[in-house]
Structure 1
Amino acid sequence: MNKLASVCAGLLLLLSTSVFAEENAASALEHAKQAVTHGKAGHTSTLVEHAKAALEDSLTAAIVAKGVAKNHIEAGSKELQESIDHGTLGHVGKATAHAEAAVEHLKAANK
């Protein structure tokens, strides 16, 4: 009986971590999309805020993600960091371009 409980608990943990990664990746994608929208409107500070939120979610998702999804999440995280760096310097065009690249990676990770 103890072994059965341990196996069930282990399976639930594995299932919950993949759901956790998916939720954070989806949240990162939404924030990244908002960063792009605000970047195209020229709102650099709001772009940076959304890019930071997206980066936080993507880094959390990358911890538990696996395989190709993990690679895309990590690549998206790098693009988000570039977006934050350029946005902080006031380079809205470059920041928006990096946010767009992050969106593409995060979309690929969420497939």
Structure 2
Amino acid sequence: MGRALAAQGHRPGTSTSGTKRMSAIDLAQKLPEQRPIRVYDADPVTDKRTLKPDATLAAQAKATELNDRFADRLWEDPDSADDHLQSGDRANGGCLARPVAPGTT
């Protein structure tokens, strides 16, 4: 089935959480690294890249939506949130500040 969808031009991760120009997987990789979300077209002859503003804004909006959904899901289950915080704290040598859950301040 995946090959049939690919043959029709469907890219996994683009219809729900991604865009036609940037998949959800690409967005999810950029978010934790705080890399800019930008969409370019490349000229096939010169390889010069041209920023595509409309596609970039669409990808940035999807990235915000994806980030918000992750944060909401993280805080839905306190045990899961605590597990994530502890693993992040261990990975960073105990130097992470503990965030406050939304609505508890």
- TM-score by length of structure 2 reads 0.30
Larger radius of gyration: 2
Greater RCO (CA < 8 Å, at least 6 residues apart): 1
The structure that is strand-richer by fraction is 2
The structure that is helix-richer by fraction is 1
